[in-house]
Amino acid sequence: MPDLTKTEETEPVKAPVAEGAPVPPADPAVGKPRSLWSDAWSDLRRSPMFIISSAMILLLLVIAAFPGWFTSLSPRDSDMALYLQKPQFGAFFSPEWLGYDGQGYSVYTRLIHGARNSILIGVSVTVLVTFVGGLLGMLAGYFGGWVDTVISRITDVFLGLPFLLGAMVILVSFETRAVYVIVLALAVLGWTLVARVMRGSVITVKQADYVMAAKALGASTTRILFRHVLPNAVTPVIVVATIALGGYISAEATLSFLGIGLAPPAVSWGVDINTAKDLLRNAPHVLLWPGLMLSFTILAFIMFGEAVRNALDPKLR
Amino acid sequence: MTTTQKTADLPAAKSADSAGTPLLQVKDLHVEFHTRDGVVKAINGVNYSVDSGETLAVLGESGSGKSVTAQAIMGILDMPPGRIPSGEILYRGQDMLTMSGEERRKIRGRKIAMIFQDALSSLNPVLSVGYQLGEMFRVHQGLSKKDAKAKAIELMDRVRIPAAKERVNDYPHQFSGGMRQRIMIAMALALEPDLIIADEPTTALDVTVQAQVMDLLAELQREYNMGLILITHDLGVVADVADKIAVMYAGRIVETAPVHELYKRPAHPYTKGLLDSIPRLDHKGSELYAIKGLPPNMARVPAGCAFNPRCDRAQDICRTEVPALHPVTEQDGTTLVGRGSACHFWKETIHG
């Protein structure tokens, strides 16, 4: 093939210039290497939804960690003389600001102290669910075959349990209503969602050429799973988990409201809503504030999740 | 690689390192895929061998089984649909098909490495290039992060990526196609393997870059004295680089020959058809030849010679009998070393 090879031989003379040239000037805008995460971060920094929601979440986290910074009272400091006293909106951040409830507790103080349980439960459930669901989903998706069949059928069984019924059965079978019991109940019923998302995502990623390339270059299965599959498959899981976090907080409130979640000596927004429901006609404010606080918290986490999703996967917008 | 050239004639094999056994030898390999539409026999008895420093080009259309053979050698076939009912893949005389998974894994990357067609999708998008190159050294040689990165830069220099030091932390999508293929090559070379399998390494690249990448590959092969299996459907790419060629059709090797002999005097109608269908400057204006018909569906391979429905020479015997790989001789009967043709009418094809 003399004519064929000849054209190829003449080309390389100028080709190295073409290849080499773009390197030094590169893109002046892109000085640093750009990974998926650094791209996502630069998107996030410019997203108002992200800034607002993360400010809200930050505030909530500070309240949950250091309630003493916001109120001097304890949530169980009761003064029956102040029974159902109306809010005094002029008195910002003082105990009487949002009024008093049926036990003579300061509503504002209870709001501040209730944040800890709600956030703790929301975050712990999310972490637990992400680990358990993520691991099982990854194994099912990567290995397929009987591993997938077993895990997927178990997932289906748990997915089939009605949430409230399932939570009731689990909670009733425990003697205590401690935070960890609620976390456990919610996680047992919640991991399936993450497992499904992870499984689907891993199935897509495992067919990628770079997984085969890693295999061909002698990487072990664990290495392929955690270095090559996981980082590429984890994005939708992060999105689902952040959005679900708000849902877990409201689930805790739901269970506490129904009387099967945290019980009264414990302080939480759900417990407050539960006790306030009987006083709705006399003192609507007692119900209003924990309800609002709950809504804002959930809103903040869902907005945060949406912002993260938009940054990580712009196609979904 | 014809029957005369197998392990029988040891003195002829020149591999110095291990007593005459070829570096890699594929013996009567069969691969089939069990699908819903029945069993697809993708490979039906492939034989070939490669020595250190030697380049074997495996040529064939899409679906002829050339990549599947490579995947079988690497052990990266998806094994539930795929199955290897019979055959041997000998690396330095040891059958890799009977090895444990762990033993095979130790050969992959260290002894036999592979370069893939599409370098962008073969590099992990979330890890930097330097990390992925360094990974080879960290995993296989236990180097520290810093040493591995230094080695990665060295490798990038070696495959002539400009400004390697500045670009080591870049991600795959920030490199051009040719540069990515160089990175793939660097990864395959990292542990200085004995054998590299390059599966259409230049198909995804434009023509000018193709030549550079092939030159680089050939040069590195000489330098390290590696064996190279070059899988391609591009006859132009092969001409300069390969020592010998195996032409595959429908899961069989239909012709083997030293590279220049094949171009000069093809002994199989399929090879002849391939060579005639290359556009040539001196045939400007005339119609371009094409082999009529399509490659067969591997679930329904025609009886007899798989090429018979497309072949000008086909006779009745071609529709009933599968031709064996005949040793090809001169008209006076002197053997042509390394030549074979799986055609009932190879004599007519080469001499007629």
pLDDT, mean of residues B36-41? 82
Task: Calculate how close chain A gets to B189, using CA atoms only, in Å.
Answer: 10
What 3-state DSSP class applies to B62? coil
What CA–CA distance (Å, rounded) separates A114 from A270? 9
pLDDT in tens, A250-267: 888 888 888 787 777 778
Q: Is residue B317 part of a domain?
A: no
B4 pLDDT tier (thresholds 50, 70, 90): very low
Q: Is residue B166 part of a domain?
A: yes
Q: In what order do the strands lie in the sheet with B112-115?
A: B112-115, B195-199, B227-232, B55-59, B244-249, B252-258, B335-341, B326-329
CATH number of the domain at A47-316, out of 2.40.50.140, 3.20.20.220, 1.10.3720.10, 3.40.50.620? 1.10.3720.10
Q: Is residue B29 part of a domain?
A: yes
pLDDT of residue B166: 85
Same domain assignment for residues B224 and B146: no
Same domain assignment for residues B132 and B15: no
Token couple for B53: 């420093």
Which of B125, B162, B209 is closest, CB to CB, to A36? Answer: B125
Domain ends where: B282, B316, B347?
B282
Measured between beta carbons, the chain B residues lying within 8 angstroms of A35 are: 126, 128, 171
Same domain assignment for residues B94 and B205: yes
Chain-chain contact of A19 with B187 (C-beta, under 8 angstroms): no
pLDDT, mean of residues A150-159? 90
pLDDT at A12 over 50: no
What CA–CA distance (Å, rounded) separates B186 from B220? 10
Domain ends where: B158, B192, B226?
B192
Taking alpha carbons only, the member of A55, A104, A48 closest to residue A75 is A104
The residues with which A137 forms a beta bridge, in sequence order, are none
H or E element in which residue B177 lies: helix B177-189
CB B97 within 8 A of CB B25: no
A124 pLDDT tier (thresholds 50, 70, 90): very high
Chain-chain contact of B170 with A33 (C-beta, under 8 angstroms): yes
b/e burial code for range A79-98 (CB count within 10 A of at least 16 → b): eeebebbebeeeeeeebbbb
The residues with which B89 forms a beta bridge, in sequence order, are B26
| Cβ-Cβ contacts under 8 Å for B351 (sequence gap 6 or more) | B331
CB B65 within 8 A of CB B43: yes
Which of A12, A30, A34 is closest, CB to CB, to B215? Answer: A12
Q: Is residue B309 part of a domain?
A: no
* Residue pointed to by tokens 């979904």: A316
CB A138 within 8 A of CB A225: yes
pLDDT of residue A139: 92
H or E element in which residue A152 lies: helix A145-160
The residues with which B59 forms a beta bridge, in sequence order, are B232, B247
What CA–CA distance (Å, rounded) separates B255 from B249? 9
Same domain assignment for residues B128 and B172: yes
How many residues comprise chain B? 352
What CA–CA distance (Å, rounded) separates A265 from B2? 87
Chain-chain contact of A8 with B207 (C-beta, under 8 angstroms): yes
What CA–CA distance (Å, rounded) separates B88 from B97? 7
What 3-state DSSP class applies to B199? strand
Same domain assignment for residues B211 and B172: no
| Cβ-Cβ contacts under 8 Å for B77 (sequence gap 6 or more) | B31, B68, B71, B84
Task: Calculate how close chain A gets to B157, using CA atoms only, in Å.
Answer: 13
Task: Quote the distance between the C-alpha of residue A222 and its chain's center.
Answer: 26
Q: Is the model more confident about A25 or about B178? A: B178
The per-residue DSSP string of A253-268 comes to: HHHHHTTSSS-TTS--
What pairing do the DSSP bridges indicate for beta strands B335-341 and B38-50? unpaired
A90 pLDDT tier (thresholds 50, 70, 90): low
Q: Which amino acid is at B88?
A: E
Taking alpha carbons only, the member of B137, B152, B161 closest to residue B216 is B161
Cβ neighbours of A172 (radius 10 Å): 10
What is the domain range of residue B231? 1-100+194-282
Burial class of B313 by CB neighbour count within 10 A (0 to 12, 13 to 18, 19+): middle
pLDDT in tens, B147-205: 888 888 988 888 888 888 888 888 888 888 888 888 888 888 888 888 999 888 887 77
Q: How many CB pairs under 8 A join A and B?
A: 127
User: Which residue in chain B is spatially nearest to A217 when comparing CA positions?
Assistant: B109
Domain ends where: B235, B259, B282?
B282
Q: Is residue B308 part of a domain?
A: no
Q: What are the CA-CA distances from residue A292 to residues A69, A103, A111, A273, B142 (Å)?
A: 21, 20, 10, 10, 56
pLDDT at B2 over 60: no
pLDDT of residue B27: 87
List % helix, strand, coil for chain B (3-state, nearest 5): 40, 20, 40
How many residues comprise chain A? 317
Q: Is residue B84 part of a domain?
A: yes
pLDDT in tens, B85-132: 888 888 888 888 888 888 888 888 888 988 888 777 888 888 888 888
Taking alpha carbons only, the member of A288, A207, A191, A308 closest to residue A248 is A191
Token couple for B334: 């002197």
Say how many domains are in chain B.
Answer: 2
Average pLDDT, chain A: 78
In chain B, the largest separation of any two C-alpha atoms, in whole Å, equals: 67
pLDDT, mean of residues A72-100? 69
Same domain assignment for residues B70 and B205: yes
Average pLDDT, chain B: 82
Chain-chain contact of B113 with A217 (C-beta, under 8 angstroms): yes
Q: Which of A6, A9, A201, A210 to mutate to test the interface with B (most CBs of B within 10 A)?
A: A210
Q: Where are the domains of chain A?
A: 47-316
Measured between beta carbons, the chain B residues lying within 8 angstroms of A232 are: 124-126
Q: Is residue B334 part of a domain?
A: no
Chain-chain contact of B209 with A215 (C-beta, under 8 angstroms): no
pLDDT at A221 over 50: yes
Confirm or reject contact between A175 and chain B (CB < 8 A): no
What CA–CA distance (Å, rounded) separates B209 from B219? 15
pLDDT at B16 over 70: no
Q: Which amino acid is at B219?
A: E
Taking alpha carbons only, the member of B300, B128, B107 closest to residue B195 is B107
What CA–CA distance (Å, rounded) separates B162 from B148? 19
Chain-chain contact of B135 with A212 (C-beta, under 8 angstroms): no
What pairing do the DSSP bridges indicate for beta strands B82-83 and B112-115? unpaired
pLDDT, mean of residues A190-200? 90
| Cβ-Cβ contacts under 8 Å for A11 (sequence gap 6 or more) | B207, B208, B211
Give first-to-last CA distance, chain B, whole Å. Answer: 24
CATH of the domain at B48: 3.40.50.300
What CA–CA distance (Å, rounded) separates A45 from A26? 24
Taking alpha carbons only, the member of B92, B16, B8 closest to residue B53 is B16
Confirm or reject contact between A215 and chain B (CB < 8 A): yes
Chain-chain contact of A19 with B236 (C-beta, under 8 angstroms): no
Burial class of B266 by CB neighbour count within 10 A (0 to 12, 13 to 18, 19+): buried
